[in-house]
Structure formats: C-alpha cells, structure tokens
Structure 1
Amino acid sequence: MKKYDKLIRDRIPGIIKESGKEYEVEVMDEVEYKSYLKKKLLEEVNEYIESEEVEELADILEVMYAIIDLKEVTLEEVDKIRSEKVEKRGGFKERLKLLKVYD
C-alpha cells in the first residue's frame, strides 16, 4: 500500500480502478480544497521549473482554472485584469531586467 496526501484529477480514481487496484479518496471541504490547490500550484510550477516542458504549463493552467472557479470569477474577468496590468505596467516581451534605481 502506498499512501498519498494530495489533490488529484477527477478521473484518477477510475484509472486506478481500471488498473485493478483499490484506492481510498475523500471529498474536501472548500477550506481544505483551497489549501490543496495552493500546494498543487506550487508542485506544478516546480515541475515546470525543473523540466521546462509545455505539458507542465498545461497542468499549471488547469490548477489556475480550478482556483478561478473556486473564487467564483470568470476567466474573462481574470484576463481583463491581466490586460489592464499590461496596459498600465507592460508585459514581459522586452525581456527587461532591472539593475539599479537611483535616488
């Protein structure tokens, strides 16, 4: 028996069952779910940093969608905020690195 304590995707129990194994899961309340989404986001970001694989970016995005849904906002609202920030402060396309600010 291998123990876990992590948020999993919805179809993982079915995949485990199809492999002939037994499993235990529980449904988290909103407070615990929010905490585990934060952990999962960090996990996925770290996996991307290590591998730089596009697949990990997709995993990060999936966790972000879950957080957006939990916060009861739309992707459009988040993208509007992102666009407003780009308009006011710019994006990252110019690859600028700040070295010094003089008084």
Structure 2
Amino acid sequence: MPIKAYHKLVRDRIPEIIEADGKTCVCETLSDEDYITLLDKKLNEELAEYQESKSLEELADLLEVMQEVVKARGWTLEELEQVRADKAAKRGGFEKKILLREVLEN
C-alpha cells in the first residue's frame, strides 16, 4: 500500500473523512508553538490558492485561517475588528480605488 506524506495542518474533520474513504491516516496534536508556525504557513498556502483561483471558496478558507491565527496568538476577533476599524478611520479604506503613482519632494 503506497504512503503519501503531507506534514500539513488540516481542518479538524479531515482525518474522519479520510478514514470514511477506507484509508488510514497518521496524525498528531501540535504544540501551541508548532500550531502557530503551521497556521502561518497555511495562511500563505491559502493566499496563494486564492491568488490562483480568485474563488470565493478560497477566500473563505483564507478568512478561516486568519480567524484561527487571531485566536492562536491570544487575540479576539473583536480586537481584530477594532484595529481594522481604527486604521480605516485614520487612514481610510480602499473603496476609492486610489493608485499612488509617485510623491514629489518639495
């Protein structure tokens, strides 16, 4: 029986889905430090997948991982939203679609 190695963070139900398909998987529970490291790696993976597909599903995956990063680092989603809102109030959002081309020194 061939073995396929992954060494990647997966969603909680993936092992049961694999086993329901008649396969056996080997998993482990990560330390907090390893979890954060692999979450950051997963964030990059999901961003790359979204950049390639531009799909809403991949954007949802990116948001899911971002929410887990927030929790794993000891923050709350409310704190994240407050930081986002404060920054938008001070510097604006992106609704006006402004492209800054250059700045001339006076």
What TM-score do you get using the length of structure 2 for normalisation? 0.95
Instruction: Answer yes or no: is 1:53 the counterpart of 2:41.
Output: no
2:32 matched residue in structure 1:
30
1:95 and 2:97 correspond: yes
- 2-side partners of 1:24 and 1:52: how far apart? 32
Structure 1 gaps of 5+ residues are: none
What's 2:22 paired with?
20
Q: Which residue of 1 aligns with 2:41?
A: 39
Aligned to 2:11: 9
Partner secondary structure for residue 44 of structure 1? helix
Cα deviation, 1:25-63, whole Å, max 9, x if unaligned, reads 011111111110011000000000000000011000110
* Paired amino acid for 2:21: S
Tell me which amino acid in the other structure corresponds to 1:102: L
Report SS of the residue matched to 1:4.
Answer: coil
